[in-house]
Structure 1
């Protein structure tokens, strides 16, 4: 279980690094928003991994909050982009 947690943590950190690179480097606003949405999903996955490894549910409210913020942010940007065109 410990090895799997380290492997999953490494994959999540690599994915977060690549997504943050895309957010900084992205040519358009949609690329940046999508990359930041992926970062929020990775944060959620890291919270779940933490809850699994430590066998607690302390981060559940934080997980729901991060998910809602990601959803509302994506919908807001999608509406902004469609109204602009």
Structure 2
């Protein structure tokens, strides 16, 4: 289990670095929003890996809250972006 957790942590760290680059180098707002949404999903995945590794189920509400914040943030930005385009 420890080897799997370390491999998952390394992959999640690499994904977070690539996503952070996408956020910083994004040519427009929608690219940055997608990057932030991806970073939130990576953070929730990191918490899930930690919960599986440690056996601590106290972080499950935090995972649900992160997923909800990511969804609502993306939906709000896309809604306001569509309103600005018309």
TM-score (normalised: structure 2): 0.96
Note the residue ranges of structure 1 that are not aligned, 5 or more in a row: none
Matched, 1:12 2:12: yes
CA RMSD across the alignment: 0.6
Return the alpha-carbon distance in structure 1 between the equivalents of residues 56 and 13 of structure 2. 22
Note the residue ranges of structure 2 that are not aligned, 5 or more in a row: none
Matching of residues 18-37 of structure 1 within 5 Å: 18-37=18-37
Give 1:63 deviation, angstroms: 0.8
Return the alpha-carbon distance in structure 2 between the equivalents of residues 77 and 52 of structure 1. 32
TM-score (normalised: structure 1): 0.97
Moved over 2 A (4+): none
